[in-house]
Structure 1
Amino acid sequence: MPRFYIAQPLAIGQLVSLPEAVAHHIQVLRLAQGELVTLFNGEGGEYGATLSDIGKRHVSVEIKTHQPREVELPFGITLAQALPEASKMDWIIEKAIELGVSGVQPLAAQRCVVRLSAERAEKKMAHWQGIIASASEQSGRNRLAQLAPLQDYKQWITQQDMHRRIILTPRAEQSLADWARHQSPQAVTLVIGPEGGLSDAEENLAIQHGALPLAMGPRILRTETAGLSAVAVLSGLWGGM
């Protein structure tokens, strides 16, 4: 059944006029009046609805049912990702949402090639928010991951955070998998550097502020691979796969 994210309150019996983009998608799919669709608003659960009216520029639905279905990980993972080149961040966010991360923190680190002005950062944030919604539709998630504003790495890493911060580095003596096998499931933040990795100074700063350095094995992973692999490792060991 087609799933669509709707950023508004939803309730059984409600007649909803769908946003233009969603209405266009329904028309592209050639769905007909009377067919069923699933709606969710990111606040939990999903709603079954019937297409009640399909016009050239609008589509309305009547909400029939509510299911409190959730597919979230039993622990929270925030992906703190230093900005990579080109459109890699789009791909990273999309796949991270599919894997179940509950938060995304974009970071501007020393070796980041991409530098965003305030205006470009605002546009990127809106674009990434759309990717989160789309990936949630596709993967069956009914809650939207939190997208934090882009921050400077050094300012962010020195902030106090109740979540365990894990910095992935090939110089670590212990692997993420070995550490996770001896830990109970818990909320964590995975810190991933850009192409070229975090600098020694950035890694040392993270460790000084309580981050745990862990490795992903003997091979060097690309920035677009490291974080996603780490999420998969934790999900496999702690129950989420």
Structure 2
Amino acid sequence: MAVAFTGPRIHVAAALVAGGDVVLPEGPARHVGRVLRLKVGDALTLFDGQGCEAAAELVEVERKQVMARVIEVRAGRAESTLAVHLGQAISKGDRMDYAIQKSVELGVAAITPLYTEHGDVRLKGEREAKKLAHWQAVAVSACEQCGRASVPVVHAPMVLGDWLAAREEPLRLVLHPGTPGILERVESVTAASVLIGPEGGLSPREIEGAEAAGFAALTLGPRILRTETAPVVALTLLQQRFGDM
């Protein structure tokens, strides 16, 4: 009889082995025991962030520890056939969280926050490390919600020029007014990179740098989109044209 992969989805940084026990991290354990009030025997789905998910059941629900037993392990089934690396100019507050969350839901493979000329956020040292950990947690939470078993890496913030120099994807797009129809002119790709500028837009010099790095302009119509809306629209178009949407 097939095992049902049901219940809340929880990310655990641990090997998933059928018959093995997994102690849930503090946050998820608190959510399972105190918020959802699940009990021993209740089902949940675990995923390791590396592509595997497991049907499991709770075997211990105590104040200090919540433990689940793995019943069956399988490869995740929600990964896109199109690997997109998103270069997202850093924006303030919830806008960056929104861009990361929705990009993960739309199947993005990796995200790099970018420092740009018109961007008004500059992070250093401990502040940057804390913000990066927060963004990665946003990506994990999005995977729990949308059913992915692989957690996209949120890379450390980079200067735009360094990110452009590292790009090797066969399709490279920058959101900027240009010649319509770039997606229709490409027959098939399995990997792409997308550059989203800040609220104030990319500078002419940055656009020139992107074009020199092989980026083509992707036009999203006559309206100017917010920096957190743009990746949602761009990724939707890419998934519909080349991915699994």
Question: TM-score with structure 1 length normalisation?
Answer: 0.94
Residue matched to 2:127: 120
- Counterparts of residues 78-157 of structure 1 (less than 5 Å): 78-157=85-164
Q: Which runs of structure 2 are paired with 1:56-75 in the superposition (5 Å)?
A: 56-75=63-82
- Which residue in the other structure is 1:236 paired with? 240
Indicate if the aligned counterparts of 1:108 and 1:152 stay in contact, CA closer than 8 A.
Answer: yes
Q: Provide the residue aligned with 1:5 in structure 2.
A: 11
1:17 shift after superposition? 1.7
* 1:53-83 CA-partner distances (Å, limit 9, x unpaired): 1111211111111132321111101110011
Cα distance, 1:175 vs. partner?
3.9
Q: Match for 1:166 among 173, 189, 193?
A: 173
SS in 1 for 2:229: helix
Change (3 A) 1:85 1:64: same
Contact map agreement 2:55 2:71 (CA 8 A) in 1: yes
Rounded Cα–Cα distance in structure 2 between residues aligned with 1:56 and 1:99: 36
Residue 2 of structure 2 is aligned to residue 17 of structure 1: no
How many angstroms apart in 2 are the aligned matches of 1:229 and 1:222?
11
Q: 1:211 to 1:26 in 2, by over 3 A?
A: same
**SS at the partner of 1:60?**
strand
Structure 1 letter corresponding to 2:216:
L
Identical residues among aligned pairs (%): 37
**Structure 1, gaps ≥5 residues long:** none
For 2:161 and 2:189, the matched residues in 1 are separated by 28
Residue pair 1:45, 1:70 contacting (<8 A) in 2 also: no
CA RMSD of aligned residues (A): 1.4
User: When the two structures are superposed, what TM-score results if normalisation uses the length of structure 2?
Assistant: 0.92
Match of 1:225 in 2: 229
TM-fit CA distance, 1:155? 2.4
Once the two structures are superposed, the pairs formed by residues 20-31 of structure 1 within 5 Å of their partners are 20-27=26-33, 28-31=35-38
SS in 2 for 1:224: coil
Q: Which runs of 5+ in 2 are unaligned?
A: 1-6
In structure 2, the residue matched to 1:197 is 201
Secondary structure in 2 matching 1:105: strand
Corresponding residue for residue 49 of structure 1: 56
In the alignment, is the contact (CA less than 8 A) between 1:53 and 1:60 conserved in 2?
yes
Cα offset, 1:158, TM superposition: 2.7
| 1:197 partner amino acid | G
C-alpha distance in 1, partners of 2:205/2:142? 35
**Are 2:170 and 2:189, in contact at CA under 8 Å, matched by a contact in 1?**
no
Distance 1:232 1:150 in 2: 24
Deviations 1:132-168 (A, max 9, x none): 1110010000111121110011222233524432111
Contact 2:169 2:193 in 1 (8 A): no
Distance 1:46 1:153, change over 3 A: same
Q: Which amino acid aligns with 1:7?
A: A
8 Å contact kept, 1:175–1:217: no
Q: Secondary structure at the match of 1:8?
A: coil
